[in-house]
Amino acid sequence: MLSLFRIIKFCFQDIMRNVGLSYQTVLILVLLLLSVNTLVVINVFTNEAVRSIKDQIDVSLYFNYEANDEEINEVKSYVGGFPEVTEIIFLNRDEVLAKFKEQHKDNPEVLSALTELGENPLGPTMIVKTREPKDYEKVIKALNVPEYENIIEAKTFGDTQRAIDRIHVVTTQVERFAIGLSLLFALIAFLIILNTIRVAIYTQRIEISIKKLVGASNWFVRGPYVIESIFFTIASVLITAGFLWVAFRLLDPYTAVVFKKQNLLFNYYLENKYLLAGAQFGSVLFLTVVSSLLAMRRYLRV
């Protein structure tokens, strides 16, 4: 325990002696973590955008108003048998008419024409949702059979696969840039930590020689610099967490307007806080400890 206390004491002495380099090291590590978290945010936005688009698309089957319940149930049973289909919503003629009137409530000409008909000209509608957008084409092709030509009046499907593909292309480019930025900051952090430890060892080379002469082991000499690496890691992770907390509080009101979801980023980080914090802490700790050990290899030969 005495050796451990001495190692910690020497660690904070080294930090205070090289406070400028220590500050730069923590700053670069914070920038590295922010660039990594940018990748996480991009991934959250991409997944939410794709999910939002998928939720908004479906296949609408418009039945002939003369179609009877038996024929409609046959189609419903047939479509429901596809493993790709996740949900079927059926609207009867009255529900379709009410929905039509609601959509055209600001158009008196349409409502007037509907009133003049004296009866409901609209047939039932079936809304089909599948797991993936590509599955809709399979459902539509399966319904293009002679048996259903007189039952199904029309089929509509908004092909949003292209929109999803464009989202992936854009986010892939941004992710590549963020990965490059993260690697750049990782390299800079490695070099700065390497330089920080080397400077600290060089300025204390006489003290290290005395420690070695009185019987100190290599690990006792290395100890303060390893603890220093752990301190840099903890400081950078905590500072980054503070920045992210402020950033998410500022960004979430704007993301709520786009994705119709409150506290999207903040909730995501809360749900995955242990995984994200552990992964980032472990990665930065590995980077700092390895760079520290490499820096000491040369200067420990006293």
What pLDDT is stored for residue 225 in this prediction? Answer: 74
Residues 6+ positions from 64 with CB-CB distance below 8 Å: 123, 150, 151, 152, 153
Between 52 and 236, the more confident residue is: 236
Same domain, 235 and 295: yes
pLDDT of residue 164: 55
pLDDT > 80? residue 272: yes
CATH number of the domain within which 72 lies: 3.30.70.3040
- pLDDT of 196 > 70? The answer is no
User: Do residues 280 and 173 share a domain?
Assistant: yes
Average pLDDT of the residues in 115-128: 78
Report the domain count for the chain.
2
221 neighbors 208 (Cβ within 8 angstroms) = yes
Q: Of how many residues is the chain composed?
A: 302
What's the gap between Cα 93 and its chain centre? 42
Q: What is this structure's pTM?
A: 0.64
Neighbours of 164 (CB within 10 A): 18
Of 159, 193, 216, the one marking the end of a domain is 159
What mean pLDDT comes out for the span 193-212?
65
Does residue 189 have a pLDDT over 70? no
Domain identity same for 171 and 271:
yes
Domain-terminating residue out of 129, 159, 189: 159
**Domain identity same for 211 and 272:** yes
Of 38, 22, 20, which Cα lies nearest the Cα of 234?
A: 22
User: Would you state the pLDDT for residue 212?
Assistant: 63
User: What is the arithmetic mean of pLDDT over 36-45?
Assistant: 81
> pLDDT at residue 217 above 70?
no
pLDDT score of 289 = 78
Asked if 85 and 129 sit in the same domain, the reply is yes
179 and 243 inside one domain = yes
Give the mean pLDDT of 161-170: 63
Assess whether 32 and 172 both reside in one domain: yes
Domain holding 265, by residue range, is 2-53+163-299
* pLDDT of res. 42: 81
Higher pLDDT, 181 or 216: 181
Please check whether residue 259 is in contact with residue 276, taking contact to mean a CB–CB distance below 8 angstroms. Answer: no
Lowest mean pLDDT across 68-82, 115-129, 181-195, 231-245: 181-195
Q: Given a cut of 70, is residue 165 above it in pLDDT?
A: no
Most confident of 52-66, 118-132, 263-277: 263-277
Mean pLDDT of the chain: 76
Specify whether the CB–CB gap between 112 and 24 falls below 8 A: no
Bigger pLDDT: 163 vs 61: 61
pLDDT attached to residue 188: 73
Task: Mark whether 185 and 148 lie in a shared domain.
Answer: no
In this predicted structure, what is the pLDDT of residue 155? Answer: 74
Other CB atoms within 10 A of residue 178 CB: 20
- Residue 108: HSE in the Cβ half-sphere, 13 Å Cα cutoff: 0
What percentage of the chain has pLDDT greater than the value 70?
A: 72
Of the listed ranges 39-43, 182-186, 216-220, 275-279, the one predicted with least confidence: 216-220
Mean pLDDT of 50-58: 71
Q: Are residues 277 and 150 in the same domain?
A: no
Backbone angles phi, psi at 128, to 5 degrees: -115, 130
User: Please, which residues have CB within 8 angstroms of residue 148's CB and are 6 or more apart in sequence?
Assistant: 75
Span 38-65, mean pLDDT? Answer: 77
One domain for residues 124 and 20: no
Residue 182 is inside which H or E element, if any?
Answer: helix 161-203
What integer pLDDT is reported at residue 141 of this predicted model?
A: 79
Mean pLDDT for 258-285 is: 84
Same domain, 87 and 71: yes
Q: Is the pLDDT of residue 208 over 80?
A: no
pLDDT band at 112 (very low <50, low <70, confident <90, very high): confident
Dihedrals φ, ψ of 88, to 5°?
-130, 125
Of 139, 159, 179, the domain-final residue: 159
| Same-domain check for residues 12 and 65 | no
Least confident of 45-54, 138-147, 217-226: 217-226
